[in-house]
Amino acid sequence: MRFRSDPATIRGSIAPVVTPFTAEGAVDHDSLRALIRFQLESGSHGISLGGSTGEPSAQSVAERIAGMRTAADEIGERVPFLPGTGSHKLDETLAMTAAAQELGADAALVITPYYARPTQEALYRWYATVAREFPGLPIVAYNVPSRTAVDLAPETVRRLFTEFDNFVGVKETTKDFEHFSRILHACGRSLLVWSGIELLCLPLLALGGAGFVSAVANLAPAAVARMYEHWDAGDFDAARALHYGLHPLVDLLFVETNPAPAKWVLAQQGRIASAHVRPPLIPPTDAGLTRVRELLAAGGGLTAQIGGTA
């Protein structure tokens, strides 16, 4: 939890790792440990677990907490750990956030409650409740309207950021790039904003973003981390080269519903024991795999690069 006291240091590529399952569908903790080691060896600046790429809605609260425990143990204090602790139910959200705090997480990533389509006032009260309950834990809102059917407005973020010292940032997963700018304009540059949209990761840095939580880091963690580092060092041409080089892998992620294509690739590479996804998701179809192979051939060179070789 060494980053918890200074969340402004949580920057760069925060890899949102998939949740590996066995072929029979159980959470595969051995493969999860292997994935985290791969991320650390590749230079990812932080680890997240339990975001959309981690299939949280297909897991029980107990499974999600067990996954957090495995991840926290493997990470130690080497990089920041930002587990997803949100649910559509407040009691579950509080229970998982409490577990994250106990396990030493550096911040909690709390998704907007999905399906119910709460108003902005309701969203304010939701996050205010979480922030009050855990005053010593940095809280990061996770705004992903394509999955939740609700958009966390800049003014709501401003209220929370102004009123709660531990409400520190937002993971924005919206293709409306104006939204990124309006969030930072409303709150100021001290608000930490990470992009969850792969092709907006690099552009967000120009606005003052803190980094990104990009699913493509599952496949090419070194390239994604180096993209941030090149930008931070002022080597904008090198950063842009990686941004464009990652395009085929970004497209690969969404040939069919994420994370099924990524899990198939990771299983083919031997990084996880099985490509199993839980219902309602299904493995990639034959047609989908044809396209995945094409895109992997186009961008797969970046998947083999580890550490400083990207």
Residue 183 has pLDDT above 60, yes or no: yes
Q: How far apart are CA 260 and CA 21, in angstroms?
A: 12
The pLDDT value recorded for residue 305 is: 63
Q: Which of 107, 19, 131 is nearest to 66 (CA)?
A: 19
Residue 221 has pLDDT above 90, yes or no: yes
Strands of the 12-17 sheet, one edge to the other: 46-49, 12-17, 211-212, 192-195, 167-172, 139-143, 108-111
Q: How far apart are CA 74 and CA 34, in angstroms?
A: 9
Residue 210 has pLDDT above 80, yes or no: yes
Q: How far apart are CA 243 and CA 103, in angstroms?
A: 34
Task: For residue range 79-125, list pLDDT tens digits in order.
Answer: 999 999 999 999 999 999 999 999 999 999 999 999 999 999 999 99
Which of 43-47, 184-188, 283-287, 305-309 is least confident?
A: 305-309
Q: Which of 159, 191, 278, 259 is nearest to 219 (CA)?
A: 259
Which residues lie below 8 Å from residue 33, measured CB to CB, with a gap of 6+?
A: 70, 74
Q: Which residue has the tokens 């902005």?
A: 120
More confident position, 306 or 260? 260
Contact 306, 41 (CB under 8 A): yes
Residue 308: band (very low, low, confident or very high) from pLDDT cuts 50, 70, 90: very low
Q: How far apart are CA 202 and CA 146, in angstroms?
A: 21
List alpha helices for 103-166, DSSP H: 120-133, 145-148, 154-163
Contact 36, 17 (CB under 8 A): yes
Q: What percent of the chain has a predicted confidence (pLDDT) above 70?
A: 97
Q: How far apart are CA 167 and CA 8, in angstroms?
A: 12
Can you tell me the mean pLDDT for 52-69? Answer: 97
Q: Mean pLDDT score of the chain, rounded to an integer?
A: 96
Q: How far apart are CA 174 and CA 71, in angstroms?
A: 27
For the entire predicted model, the pTM comes to 0.95
Q: How far apart are CA 39 and CA 44, in angstroms?
A: 6
Residue 37 has pLDDT above 70, yes or no: yes
Strand, coil or helix: what is 184? helix
Residues known to be catalytic: 142, 171
Contact 82, 106 (CB under 8 A): yes
Can you tell me the mean pLDDT for 64-87? Answer: 97
The pLDDT value recorded for residue 172 is: 96
